[in-house]
Chain A
Amino acid sequence: MTARDEIPLRDADQVMRLSRMGSFHQSRLSFMRILLRRMRNENWQFDAPDWHVNENGVGRAVYTVHGPSRAYSLVAFAHDLPDEMRSDRVIATAWDTTFTLFDGIPTDDDIARLAQNVPLQEAGRISVRELTLSRANRSARLWDFVVANLSAGRQPDPESLKTVGYVMRTTAVYGSGKFGAADHGTIQDRPEFAAPFQAEMLTVYLIRCFVMDLLDHNAKCAGGKRAVKLSPKLRRALGIGNSTGLGMAPFLVNHPTLLHQWIAARETALARVRGIKTVTDGERDVMIHHAKSAHINAMNWHSQHPMQIAKVTELQSDMVMLCKEITRIGDAPYPWDRLYRWAAQNLTSEGLEQVVSILMEPYGDVVDDLADAMSIDESAHFYIDGTQAMGHVKSLIAKHFDWALKTDFGAGDEQARFWYVSAAKLEPRLGERDAEQGHELEQPLAIGRDVAALYRAITQDETVAHFLRKHPEHRHILRRVQMVEKFPYAEIRDNLLHAQMMPIDMLRCKLSFFGATHFDPRSDRWLRICMFQNAPFPDELYVPGNWVYPEPTGAI
């Protein structure tokens, strides 16, 4: 184990700002990488796919993977979807492909049952034998382009692939009991699902395998003997896209203790690496290597959104500075702490948070164990301590929600928006308070405003139980105030109702923990990303190398 000293964690007031969370990048602690490490370390075995897709690209396939004690199977359905029906919106009713992750190896009866339900997605019903439900659509232009090239016997132009990074994108990956699937609580004791979202990550990983095989299959059907398979290098460069909208945004607010675990793990990792007193030349070389990779990734990062274009441009510049600074860091003690402090002074938020991720890269032995602490039994922290004095609650608010107490929620911009659930689409939405109806049906996501209201309502030092008996309207927010005493990273310390608030910052934070790359906002409230791009396929898991960013020339 690398020797290190204690460095304090970054303060929640600094980390839990939307602008900062909206600059997070994937890291060793991202859920995709946790899964990849486990599959490699435990020598998971992948069966050849059970392939029943016809010459029109329609049919099904089963991809089974064997862990140390259990098997899981992706059951994939490929459909013939007319172009005019292809939509990434939640109201879509048909997709190019649909999937479920089956707990075990499905029988013919299971397959028949799933064939009746999985293609329907929300309109169907799965069972406790299934762990996830998902669907994906082709990136129409790129899919046809790749298939046309392969069927004509040539590899597609790599630059064309690089711009998008995927040929198919998921529009939802449901887990945790949705639509009848197994509750997370029923599988969380399995080591392979101890870290968050592992069933969902495994689903997407296997979807990527299926999509690559489907590409080759369709090219072969179109081109016959002339067709070639996509080269391993190009396969590796393709991930699975994902379109994500506001539906994901409230997750971080609705799971405060879980959010804390994620952030605390990341911050602890940073503090541990900053606390390393001396480094070897080899570790320094690995750091430089990963900085160069991140630089290439930044250069390949394309977006159409003006805000993100500006951020990526700044990141590219930051990475140039970083690569130089690492070589200049010298032999004085605590080089990574000095590098971090230099980055905090000289780089943008986007660049600084990229440095946080890069710093972890050479130090799996220092940080990887933190993955075990990223889940939590949320129900254990649900209950309110009614014996606590309201005076203490008031002091907690003053300590952790100072930003909310300083906000004038009566001012126009501060409460310009409201979160609601659409009756038509059953999905979270963001409304304009002055222009739209329905703000009286606001969801409880106005954390800052409601904390401030609780603070004002505390007029005597009674117990919490007696206060809530008289004021049940404050129960939801009082629960959160008590949580933040133990879980300081549980709350986003920004006003989620503000006129200028960017919901994509919340999406970016969550998706960075998934391990997503190439965040490409399409508005302030939805974006596209890439998952598992550059990740090893099953036969490549044991080959050393970078699992996320492209390898720099002269790779170690």
Chain B
Amino acid sequence: MLSRSETIAMVKRGARGAGYSWGMAEEIAQACATLCAHGINAQPVLAQYLQAVDGHVDALAMQSWPLNQERVCPFHLGCFIAESGFSDDHHQFNGVQSPVFLLPYVQRMATVQGRNLHISGAGMAVDVGADYIAGDISMDAQGQVMITADEYTLTPPSTSPCYPAQYCDVMDRLGQKTMVPDSDESRANGAGD
């Protein structure tokens, strides 16, 4: 097991190594930690996702609003919908990759709006409130996702925070791409050690 702070540091480096901006890498780390805090082990799918987008994350960034693209990054979309102050009762998005990563952002929306939101589609049926994420969570689905304002019907599981150490090697490998190897010049300049 890792600690929460180790998880955040590792995922931030990994996301940055895959090509996300520093600010997005911070968001991705925070989103992963939120899922872990709810006992949802999304690390395998995050590692898989980051490997898949490694080097071309811009291709999945939001090109327009309203969305009009075949595939969209769940983190870019999540930030946008959580930060836009939407209060509509219904949203539908197509082509969402790994929509499990929308859950932390939907939780932020639910917190701000003070109500339960239900996320469905892509193999998921999940109730999300300020302090719970409950339901069937698909880790490897993608496609159309709907977010609706519904009364919650699903019973939140009694889970404990879980920060697994699985797939650290993938994250570390990506994270290494954010680091600078020693060079004769850096050694000559005394680098700071």
Which chain A residues have a beta carbon within 8 Å of chain B's beta carbons? 89-91, 128, 176-178, 180-185, 245-246, 379, 382-387, 420-432, 435-438, 441, 444, 463-466, 468-469, 472-479, 503, 523, 525-526
Contacts and interface: CB of A to CB of B under 8 A. Distances in A.
Contact of B179 (A421, A472, A478): A421
B180 A431 contact: yes
B87 to A, nearest CB: 11
A469 B76 contact: yes
Contacts of A382: 26, 30
12 contacts: A178-B5, A246-B192, A387-B84, A422-B186, A426-B179, A436-B183, A463-B84, A468-B23, A469-B61, A472-B23, A477-B23, A478-B23
Interface in B12-67: 20-24, 26-27, 30, 61-62, 65
Given A431-B189, A465-B83, A474-B23, 5 more contacts: A178-B6, A436-B189, A437-B185, A468-B83, A476-B22
Given A464-B83, A476-B21, A523 B179 contact: no
Given A379-B30, A422-B180, A472 B21 contact: yes
Given A438-B180, A444-B22, A428 B84 contact: no
Contact of A424 (B62, B181, B185, B189): B181
A519 B178 CA distance: 32
Contact of B3 (A178, A420, A421, A468): A178
Given A430-B192, A431-B186, A469 B180 contact: no
B3 to A, nearest CB: 3
Nearest to B185: A436
Contacts of B185: 432, 435-437
Nearest to B189: A432
Contacts of A128: 3
B84 A423 contact: no
Top 6 A-B pairs, shortest CB-CB distance: A475-B23, A386-B83, A177-B3, A438-B180, A177-B5, A476-B23
A444 B21 CA distance: 10
B182 A423 contact: yes
A177 B1 CA distance: 11
Contact of A384 (B20, B83, B178, B179): B83
Given A387-B84, A427-B193, A469-B80, A441 B6 contact: no
Nearest to A437: B183
A432 B184 CA distance: 12
B5 A423 contact: no
Interface residues of B, number: 40
**Interface hub of A128, A429, A478 (most chain B Cβ within 10 A):** A429
Contacts of B193: 89-91, 245-246, 422, 425, 427, 429
Contacts of B3: 128, 177-178, 180-183
Interface in B161-191: 176-183, 185-186, 189-191
A181 B65 CA distance: 44
B118 interface: no
B180 A465 contact: no
B175 to A, nearest CB: 9
Nearest to B178: A441
A435 B191 CA distance: 12
Contact of B108 (A89, A383, A476): A383
Contacts of B186: 422, 429, 431, 436-438
B71 interface: no
B66 to A, nearest CB: 11
Given A463-B84, A468-B83, A420 B30 contact: no
Contacts of B26: 382, 475-476, 479
Contacts of A479: 23, 26
B35 to A, nearest CB: 14
Name the residue in A181, A420, A472 with the highest tally of chain B Cβ atoms < 10 Å from its Cβ. Answer: A472
B27 A475 contact: yes
Contacts of B6: 177-178, 180
Contacts of A473: 21, 23
A185 B4 contact: yes
B154 interface: no
Given A386-B83, A469-B65, A421 B178 contact: yes
Given A382-B30, A435-B189, A468 B79 contact: yes
A177 B4 CA distance: 7
A373 B69 CA distance: 47
Nearest to B112: A383
B180 A423 contact: yes
A424 B187 CA distance: 12
Contacts of B179: 420-423, 426, 441
Interface string B75-110: 010011011110000000000000000000000100
A507 B61 CA distance: 38
B94 to A, nearest CB: 17
Contacts of A387: 83-85
B80 A386 contact: yes
B178 to A, nearest CB: 6
A422 B3 CA distance: 23
Contacts of A177: 3-6
A386 B23 contact: no
Contacts of A182: 3
B180 A429 contact: yes
Contacts of A183: 3-5
A466 B85 CA distance: 11
B30 to A, nearest CB: 6
B80 A180 contact: no
Nearest to B7: A177
Nearest to B77: A469
Contacts of A430: 191-192
A421 B61 CA distance: 27
A203 to B, nearest CB: 17
A507 B4 CA distance: 26
B180 to A, nearest CB: 3
A385 B82 CA distance: 9
Q: Which of A384, A465, A466, A477 has the most CB of B within 10 A?
A: A465
Contact of A437 (B4, B176, B180): B180
